[in-house]
Amino acid sequence: MSAPSSGGASRDGYGKALLRLSDDPRVVVLEADLGKSTKSCHFREKYPERTVSMGIAEQNMMLVAAGMAASGKVPFASTFAIFTERAFEQVRNGIARPGLKVHICGSHGGIHTGTDGSSAQSIEDLSIYRTIPKMTVIHPCDDLSAEELTVQLLDYSGPSYMRTARNKVPRMYDDQSKMGLRIGVGSVLEEGEDVALIACGVMVEQARNAASALSNEGVNCTVVDMHTIKPLDTSLLSTLAESCGCIVSAEDHSVFGGLGSAISEWISTNNPIPLEMVGVRDRFGESGSTSDLMEELDLTSESICDAARKAINRKNSS
């Protein structure tokens, strides 16, 4: 795996992917007055006849997308992550229950979105969509992986929710390594035998930073980009439970119901090994710079290091 290179926000990858998908005439894009933010605007610019403006009306957008999917289209509907939550029941009953292939993208997810404040910082989206039967839930870590995974959605069965992030982060992939990405298959970025750091979204970068810091202490980490929260790559979890014996999860999301919970559900019923979770602990955010907020809420590489040491101690003392 090559070293991270600079620059890309996962929402940019989503926008590029829509353009790559445009050759398929079934692909349609729905917007709710946030196309410039979610980056669906690039598709609109080139294919206005296949882009539908729904105004600031997310509930309507979800069911219009459902009607289009039932008519043979492959709709990609996007708005801010938090506003998709407004239409939760529409997604549950109107899209997922009939198994309609609508792909929802919630951008500006998590605390990372920053200065807009807590009303815009969705920290529960992965959790709520994970509870819906038939729903695939994806949270890429950079622009290249977001692009690749979005492109794969075209031929993926059933509805999906993808969370993208507002801000640029160092790339975890390059044009070659991104080709190895597969929906539903966790991506191993580094291999070590002491602890597995399993992260998603912007926390993948923090996990790699933590692995680097821990290596100075002689701790060897496996780092996984678990971009697909559901279906969870339990085969990889099984392997890591054997090879590392303890896990740290890291997510810019509540510890209730997200990646850490998903991992916990699996290991507690299959291979109970120590798990420590890094994530938002039952609180809302506030306005602030991304770095200040991530520090305030313990979403940092230092938090991951602390969690890793604790997990290793628990493993060794058991």
Partner 1 sequence: MGEAAQDKIAELEEMARLCRIDIVKMTHAAKSGHPGGSLSAIDSMVALYGTSMRFDTSNPDWDDRDRFVMSKGHASPAMYALLHQMGVLEESDIMSFRTMGSACQGHVDMNWTDGVDFSAGSLGMGLSFGLGCALSARMDSSERRIWVMLGDGETQEGQVWEAVMAANYHNANNLRVIVDRNRIQNDDFMEVQMEIGDIGSKFESFGWNVREVDGHDMAELVEVLHWTENADSGPIAIIANTTKGKGVSFMEDNPDFHGKAPNDKELETALEELS
The binder of partner 1 chosen from 17, 54, 153, 293 (CB under 8 A): 54
Say which residues have a Cβ less than 8 Å from residue 217's Cβ, sequence separation at least 6. Answer: none
Residue 60 or 239: the one with the smaller Cβ distance to partner 1 is: 60
Q: Which of 31, 45, 49, 58 is catalytic?
A: 58
Quick one: 7 or 67, whose CB is closer to partner 1? 67
Q: Does 48 bind partner 1 (CB under 8 A)?
A: no
Min dist CB 90 to partner 1, Å, is: 6
Count the site residues for partner 1 by CB under 8 A: 30
Q: How far, CA to CA in Å, does 187 sit from each of 209, 227, 237, 310, 312?
A: 17, 8, 12, 24, 22
Closer Cβ to partner 1, 26 or 315, answer by number: 26
Task: Give the residue with the Cβ less far from partner 1, 60 or 220.
Answer: 60
Range 263-299 burial, b when 16+ CB lie within 10 A, else e: bbebbeeeeebbbbbbbbeeeebeebebeebbeebeb
3-state secondary structure of 43: helix
Binders of partner 1 in range 239-268 (CB under 8 A): none
For residues 27-46, which are near partner 1 according to CB under 8 A? Answer: 28
CB nearer to partner 1: give 55 or 272.
55
Binding residue (CB under 8 A) for partner 1 from 20, 37, 41, 50: 50
Q: What is the DSSP letter of 94?
A: I
Q: Which is nearer to partner 1, 68 or 202 (CB)?
A: 68
Interacting residue with partner 1 among 63, 144, 165, 236 (CB under 8 A) = 63
Report which residue type is found at 311: A
Looking at residues 158 to 217 of the shown chain, list those that interact with partner 1 (rule: CB under 8 A): none
| Residue from the set 19, 52, 151, 154 that interacts with partner 1 by CB under 8 A | 52
User: Is 58 noted as a catalytic residue in this protein?
Assistant: yes
What number of other Cβ atoms are within 10 A of residue 159's Cβ?
A: 26
Q: Tokens at residue 289, please? A: 């710079």
Q: Is residue 22 part of the contact set for partner 1 (CB under 8 A)?
A: no
In angstroms, rounded to a whole number, what is the distance separating the alpha carbons of residues 139 and 112?
13
CA 196 to chain centre: 18
What are residue 7's phi and psi, to 5 degrees?
85, 95
Residue 62 sits in the site that holds partner 1 (CB under 8 A): yes
Determine which residue in the list 8, 15, 35, 94 makes contact with partner 1, applying CB under 8 A.
94
Rounded Cα distance between 94 and 234, Å, is 29
Of 233, 223, 239, which Cα lies nearest the Cα of 190? 223
Residue span binding partner 1 (CB under 8 A) among the ranges 13-21, 67-75, 168-176, 223-231: 67-75
Among 49, 176, 269, 317, binds partner 1 (CB under 8 A): 49
The answer to whether 311 and 247 have CB atoms below 8 angstroms apart is: yes
Bin 289: left if φ > 0, else alpha if -120 < ψ < 50, else beta.
beta
Annotated catalytic sites, by residue?
58
Q: Which residues bind partner 1 (CB under 8 A)?
A: 28, 49-50, 52, 54-55, 57, 59-73, 75, 89-90, 93-94, 97-99
